[in-house]
Amino acid sequence: MTAQLRRGLLDGTWPPGSKLPTERALAAETGVSVTTVRRAYEDLVALGLVRRRQGAGTFAAHRAEEERAGRRVVGVLVPDTSFYYPRVLQGIEKELAAAGARLVLACSRYDRAEEDAAVGRLLAAGVHGLLLVPSLHTAADPGRRAEELLALPVPVVLVERRLAAHGPGDPTEHVCTDHEGGAYDAVRHLRGLGHRRLGLVVRSDAPTTAPVESGFARAVADLGLPAPCRESGAMTEWDAGRADRALAALRAAGVTAALCFGDREAALVLAAARRAGLRVPEDLALISYDNEFADVAETPLTAVSPPKFQLGGLAAQILLRRLAEGDAAPLHQVQLRPRLVVRASCGAPRSARG
């Protein structure tokens, strides 16, 4: 429906300034639902092809100036707009605005069918390029899924997704956080504070889990530390009871410090420690992975902080360069190292404690 309306706007069916049919009238005329028409109108508004006037209706926009300026339209697909990705989107929006480009946003809610439908709507809306956060981690064949996305008729840059298992065979253009490096730095920080018995608490159903575990294991091996205690569970499993059991396992293993992915799990473990009469950081030092709300915990949490804003901005820059230069632009495969934000949950080196 969006593509059909867009063609009508471009071929003069509705000249600039003319009034389009009401949503209900167009639904009756075309035989589609009012919801479908409303969504198509919203896509056209986002593209700047139509304008809504309160109480008057929907009108074809005067686009000559924008078209002469060669204004780009970039489609952005994220799995969630509540956690993690708002800062990424802010970085994207800033770069696109500076370049005079327009953003059209879609959300998949971690659902593959909705992901495909959203990509289809973005293409139908006439976007020139796509910034995608696809569900590669749940795909039966991630390589094949990546090939499908690369075969789309517009340039694609992946955000926070890559084919890590393919190594140099990864054909995607992407900008990602170096989650392995972030976990490595967390372990190195804890070792520098004198801790040797470490724990790892993770969500088992997140795309970030595998690289965090890999970086954690590499650091433990490189630093000659004993095998860590690992506690994992799906995001829906993590509650106060699950945190209590995880803490009991950490204590039984003699753990004095742990990395928790993510902030919610770290906060649950922190609360479990309080219930058990443990002091943080004196009895158990904690580092959270994410830094969405680590600073507002009862004991502010030291956190690995992915560079979300910068990542979004860089992804937008790379896509705009691809649109400007085509195949002449180099293939970008970028990883940005997170930073460690030190707060009260780690404390002073163990040798310096009274």
CATH pick for 72-178+309-335 out of 3.40.640.10, 2.160.10.10, 3.10.150.10, 3.40.50.2300: 3.40.50.2300
- In this structure, which topology does domain 1-61 adopt according to CATH? Arc Repressor Mutant, subunit A (1.10.10)
Which pLDDT tens digit goes with each residue over 173-209? 999 999 999 999 999 999 999 999 999 999 998 999 9
- Who contacts 211 (Cβ-Cβ below 8 Å, separation ≥6)? 164, 179, 180, 183
Kindly list the distances between the CA atom of residue 118 and the CA atoms of 105, 110, 115, 278, 288, in Å, as whole numbers in the listed order.
Answer: 9, 12, 5, 48, 33
pTM for this predicted structure: 0.80
Would you say 329 and 321 are in contact if contact means Cβ atoms under 8 Å apart? yes
Which of the pair, 351 or 7, is modelled with greater confidence? 7
Distance CA 87, CA 310 (A): 9
Which pLDDT tens digit goes with each residue over 144-182? 999 999 999 999 999 999 999 899 999 999 999 999 999
CATH architecture under which domain 179-306 falls: 3-Layer(aba) Sandwich (3.40)
All structural domains of the chain with their residue ranges: 1-61, 72-178+309-335, 179-306
* Among 177, 145, 159, residue whose Cα is nearest residue 105: 159
- Neighbouring CB atoms inside 10 A of 19's CB total 13
Distance CA 223, CA 342 (A): 21
Would you say 199 and 247 are in contact if contact means Cβ atoms under 8 Å apart? no
Q: Helices 263-275 and 240-252, interaxial angle, to 10°?
A: 70
What's at 197, amino acid-wise? R
72-178+309-335 shares the fold of 1-61: no
